Structure 1
C-alpha cells in the first residue's frame, strides 16, 4: 500500500506533528484504505511517523458505501497507524487523562496467561496422527497426560506408544498400567476406533 500523496500527516499545522498527535487529542481518522475511526491519541513516534490510537468506534469502506452506522468498540482496542496513510483528520477535542480509564493488568495475571498458553501448547503432539491427538485429548480429560516425543505419558509413569492400542501401554505400577489400559479402551470405543 502506498502512502497518500499530500496526506494530512504531511500538511503543516503550525505546531508540527508532535503537537497534532499530542497525548489525549481525539480525532475522526480516515485512512487511504477507506477505514474510518474515532480515536484518542495515546502516543506518537516521529520516526517512523507512527500514531497509536485508543479506538472508540470504527467503520470500514464497505460500511461507508452502504451507509451503515459505526461499530462501537471496546475502548481496549488499540491501533497503530502510519501517519502517512491518514487522508483526513478531524479534531473532536481532547481528553485530560486518556490512560486513566485503561484497565491495568497485574504481573500475576500476565504470568497466569503465560502458564495457560504453555499448557495449551504442551497438549499438542508434534509429528503425530490426528487419531493419536484425539486419543491424547480424550485421555487428558480423565487422567494427567503429556506428550513425550510421540508417546503419551499418563500419570507421570505409564506410556502409551504408537499406534496407541491397549497392548501398547507400557511402564508404571501394575494398577496404574491396568487403569490406563481400561481408560484407553473406553476412549477408543467412544471415538469409534478399533482396539487392534
Structure 2
C-alpha cells in the first residue's frame, strides 16, 4: 500500500493493518487521529468478547500501512461507560501484588542469595529480614547462605533440616558447590 502518513489512512472508522518500525503488526479500527501531534489511536479486539485494547501510536513509528479500508457504515463514536469502582479495585489488586513482589527482593544481597531465596519461597513461606532469609518464621539462613548458616530453635530442627536439604540442592543447581557443606 502507500507509504504511511497519508491522511486517508487515518480516517476515523477505517479498518487498518499496519507494521510498526519494530516489525510488529497492528490490526484494528482507527478510533482517533490528531494530525498536529501525528498521533493515531487504534482500537484493537481484546482477548475477550466486548473487551478492546486501545493503542496510541505516533505515525512516525509506522513502517508500512498494509491496508486501510473505509467502513460501509459510519463508526459509532460513543465511548463505553467506565466502571470506576472496578478500576479502583483492579488498581488496588495491582498495588498489593507489586508490594508482595517487592517484599520478595532482598536489599543489598547478591544474585545468588536472591536465587536461593526464590527457590525457597516456591516451597515454603519465606521472607527477608535484613540480609537473613527467614523460612516459616523459624529457620534463619544467614550469609553466605550455605546449609552451615541455617539456625533455628531446637523445636524446629526438622524444619531446619528440610531447609538445609533444599538449600544444598539449590546451591548445586546454581553451581555453588565450592562453598557448600
How do 1:1-196 and structure 2 match up within 5 A?
Answer: 7-9=5-7, 20-21=11-12, 25-30=13-18, 33=21, 37-45=26-34, 47-56=36-45, 74=47, 76-84=52-60, 90-93=68-71, 94-96=74-76, 99-100=79-80, 106-126=87-107, 127-130=109-112, 132-156=113-137, 158-170=139-151, 173-176=153-156, 178-191=157-170, 192=172, 196=181
Report the alpha carbon displacement of residue 54 of structure 1 after superposing the two structures with TM: 1.3
CA deviation string 1:20-46 (max 9, x = no partner)? 44xxx2332546748764422334445
Equivalent-residue separation in structure 1 for 2:32 and 2:148 (angstroms) = 62
- Conserved in 1, the CA contact under 8 Å of 2:16 and 2:30? no
Distance, in Å, in 1 between the alignment partners of 2:24 and 2:125 is 48
Q: Check whether the contact 1:26–1:38 (CA below 8 A) recurs between aligned residues.
A: no
Residues 31/169 of structure 1: CA separation in 2 closer, same or farther (3 Å cut): closer
Change (3 A) 1:36 1:135: closer
Q: How many residues align?
A: 163
Q: Structure 2: how far apart are the matches of 1:155 and 1:112?
A: 25
Q: Is the 8 A contact 1:166 1:181 kept in 2?
A: no
Return 5+ residue gaps in structure 1 as ranges. Answer: 12-16, 57-72
Query: Which consecutive unaligned segments of at least 5 residues does structure 2 have?
Result: none
Q: What's the TM-score once normalised by structure 1's chain length?
A: 0.58
The one-character-per-residue Cα deviations of 1:123-174 (angstroms, maximum 9, x if unpaired) are 23353242x3343233223432112343212334543111223432346x44
- Taking only aligned residues, the RMSD between alpha carbons, in angstroms, comes to 4.0
- 1:42-66 CA-partner distances (Å, limit 9, x unpaired): 344455231111135xxxxxxxxxx
